[in-house]
Amino acid sequence: MSVAPRWAQAMQRLSRHLSEDFLGGPRPWPLAWVIDFQKGGTCLFVGLLMWWYGNTSAPAWTYLAMHGSYGLVWLLKDVAFPDPRWRTRVTIGGGIMAFLMVLGPYWLFGWLLVSGVSQPSYPLPEPAWLALCVSLCILGCVIMIAADAQKFYTLRLRPGLITDGMHRLVRHPNYLGEMLVYGSFAMVVCHWIPVLVLAWVWLGVFAVNMVMKEASLSRHAEWPQYRDRTWWLIPWVF
């Protein structure tokens, strides 16, 4: 079994301390409640923004449909096949920090667009660009849901390394799906702030989690062969 790089171990320890143990004290709720609050509340949040700013443009409605629907999809996933990682009970400070560090900044996307701070200039005609964004969002949702469902139900019946289905070519299809989804949101907003948010989440959270996951999976005897014939995120690219 290989050992994860020290930088990844340190980043994960820091992230877990801030999102689970920050300030200590009682642990009144599981981390899933914090995540579900943000994901499920996005539709209402963006809708209220549209009402407040009087913005009923095509990009605003498209963004509401995309990000709002994704939040509802996440809630459905959490009910049907919950991820045990999010069942960890966290302190009040930890829940607040989890929201502020990762979840809350996603709401900046909708605010930038609907408030008019972002005045997007798309590289394609607006209908074509929005259609591309919707397509990437749907594709990302399908990849994420399929990968998480496969993992949940496969491990209930056969613990071990998953090397088929959504994991046949890509070792982290769930992260690929999430990146397509949030990348499509940033494409609708077309502003530099979402780029910074995604860079932080993808490099500071997703990349760390993937490195740590691979170190853990290396305990399986078939890991070297599986690693050598697959890609991290995008088949035949990376």
pTM for this model (two decimals): 0.94
Taking residues 203-232, report their average pLDDT. 94
Residue 198's identity, in one-letter code, is L
With H, G, I as helix, E, B as strand and everything else as coil, classify residue 231: strand
pLDDT of residue 236: 87
Read off the pLDDT of residues 58-74 as tens digits, 9 standing for 90 and up: 999 999 999 999 999 99
Rg (CA), the chain: 19
- Determine the average pLDDT of the residues in 199-222: 94
CA distance 176 to 144: 7
Secondary structure (3-state) at 16: helix
What confidence tier does 2 reach under pLDDT thresholds 50, 70, 90?
confident
pLDDT at 4: 84
Contact between 110 and 63 under an 8 Å Cβ cutoff? The reply is yes
Is pLDDT at 76 greater than 90 in this prediction? yes
Percent over 70 (pLDDT), the chain: 100
Question: Beta partners for 170?
Answer: 231
- CA 168 centroid distance within chain: 21
Residues in the chain: 238
pLDDT at position 124 over 80: yes
* 82-98 pLDDT tens trace: 999 999 999 999 999 99
pLDDT for 147 equals: 97
**Where do the domains of the chain lie?**
6-118+135-228
Give the residue from 137, 128, 90, 131 showing the smallest Cα distance to 109.
137
Contact 115, 53 (CB under 8 A): yes
Question: pLDDT above 90 covers what percent of the chain?
Answer: 94
Q: In Å, how far from its chain's centre is CA 146?
A: 14
> What pLDDT, on a 0 to 100 scale, did the predictor assign at position 95?
96
Q: What is the mean pLDDT of residues 32-55?
A: 97
Distance CA 88, CA 84 (A): 8
Residues in Cβ contact with 137 at an 8 Å cutoff, skipping those fewer than 6 apart = 66, 70, 180, 181, 184, 185
State residue 58's pLDDT score: 97
